[in-house]
Structure 1
């Protein structure tokens, strides 16, 4: 059984230790912390684990989509006593993390749509299919049942960034072509677990949106110049070479991006100071959203980094898409957005940035 510790070499600030532990069901669990994790494991379940679904190509949209029927049975809004992301307390319910305490944890998703061992799909006449190879992982920010990117604190955010960088490297080495760390927060986004957490998808094929972004950068789009032009009017805050700003071409009301002023391919390419600034801005943006809307703000958050190959001139960003256009008004993605990809933006970026700066 795999159970080993390592001191990571990342540009993220401070020492970071990783414990790699193979769970009883064969899935890997990685515990990240400032000190080596040495607790003994608790009793574990040995459930059957799905090894991914299949990919089908949409001929009119030019995209590969994941089909994974087993995900219909994934955990849905469990009671607090059945929180699967909590530590396993001796004598208590078995959780995904079979230790009585931890700092930050990442484990392979039990209901993964992408998997390194995904089988070849059966043929379907007239439809292009492929194995859904890749990875789906869950990131647990804290053992506490409640919290946010703001409340977990600066040190934990820096630890989270270090863990992201470590997983980028590992998944690229395993052959994933694109890696997307993300967080779905709130019922309006469809989050089914309220414990503070995110996910990481490692794709065997670069998704269409990221293909288009990579091509734009390869063709010469200069995001650094756009940031220089937009600042400070569209700026929210700037720390150590990292800026939080509202893009002049934002599609969501109150959309905010975090990006280095200097082009970087991904967080692994950033300086230690830039990552410190990024961690601070992640907490600041979340704090401002919650204060402005007067409630825990539902949002979609993701890191947009270069693909494993073909990422020339790619400029890394971390993007927040709030699902509110007012404290009690949800921004629904309805027919026009879904069918055409053309968004109607209800709040002008100029208005949004002024409102968030005032918080």
Structure 2
């Protein structure tokens, strides 16, 4: 089906709409679920655009009115079960004997969904979900997160993806600029590689910070509780939080059994509403010393939009966001954490750094509606064969 035929078909479905099948293996199961929340926000923003007819293939959860499901057979039940097991990446990493059959089933189900969809264009979240794109020439937009870059190191993976991209217009869209060189090297000759940042909910920009007089300074860490995600948090922060002058509050699901130090204030998972309303306004800042393969952590973007300075480990994903000593602090060693805390203990320096962070987020990232507009522009260009 060529681009002209696609646009003619779109005109037949009212208001010059064109149909998009968005595929994702993560999606919140309820309004209080944290898993895949950024996908839900993207779906909501795309659904607000009148020119897009959106079809969704993902685990079941709350979707906006007018969005159609793209499941075949028992896909809904199967995807829900996969998510309850921790997702495909978790199963392959922790239980490879069971993860491999699940991976093959996932590829079969995705292939079936793509083939039976009447979409004009595929919006595929994560590289592995693009392997089974059908050979019918329909354009595809593929988002890339930090964990996808590890996938590219697997033997034969680049060959499989290049085969899937061959013969169609493809836009590969990482959500962080640091991924661009490797993706250009792997696919730049057959696909358009474009950095497309996700959006930020407007509630974070509207947040008003307030320091509580004569109270310990509260620092927050919002993370899945795994060894890689926590990184050096306990070791590097212990000397600075083992007194009553500062508190470190940890939020997130316990995905690995890790013994937490007594000085950590652990609260379990928290909804964005709870963090925005009850914790971020009075927080001194955000700390993340992750050693995980991060893409562009959404919680860091939200913290910047909220006007919080960030203390972070020096990873490409963090360097991509923070201007060292201006809107945050990048740490190479334990002593850097103490230096950063000493600077941001000062209310004036803290607020100045937070203001710079918020200004950058508003200018460079914007809202989820801004993100949806970026994708919608790429949809049009792919359908016209001019995504470059």
Normalized against structure 1, the TM-score is what? 0.28
- Choose between structure 1 and 2: higher helix proportion: 2
Larger radius of gyration: 2
- Choose between structure 1 and 2: higher strand proportion: 1
